[in-house]
Structure 1
Amino acid sequence: MTNEVIKKYIGKNCRISTGSFGTNVIGKIIDVNENWIEIQTKKGNELINAEFVQSIKIDPSK
């Protein structure tokens, strides 16, 4: 997944899945830098390597 596609969703609430790696993160995308996506979650900020992302689902209500 390219950074340009992900950058369109900065500020949006979403669910990011890495599929077979078993990670699902729910939160707001706050930054995309090189291969890293920074997400604000209820537990704090998390970083996900964009190379392992299989899907991003945007929450249309928020």
Structure 2
Amino acid sequence: MHDLEQDKIRDRAYQLWDRAGQPEGREEEFWYAAERELAGKGAGDGSARAAEPEAPPVVPGRLS
């Protein structure tokens, strides 16, 4: 994955996580939601609700 792609994912994941109230321990699920959304697998409307993940995978440290 290119750095520019990762930067976009990181920025979108942060937006989703922030809008959800910055829940502890759920950073990774927002990372994956941002990946899906930016890959065109999300709802396409850019809303945080549409991109909110179904199941939280656990992979610590991605948003750090």
Same fold (TM over 0.5): no
The structure whose residues are more often helix, as a share, is 2
TM-score by length of 2: 0.27
TM-score by length of 1: 0.27
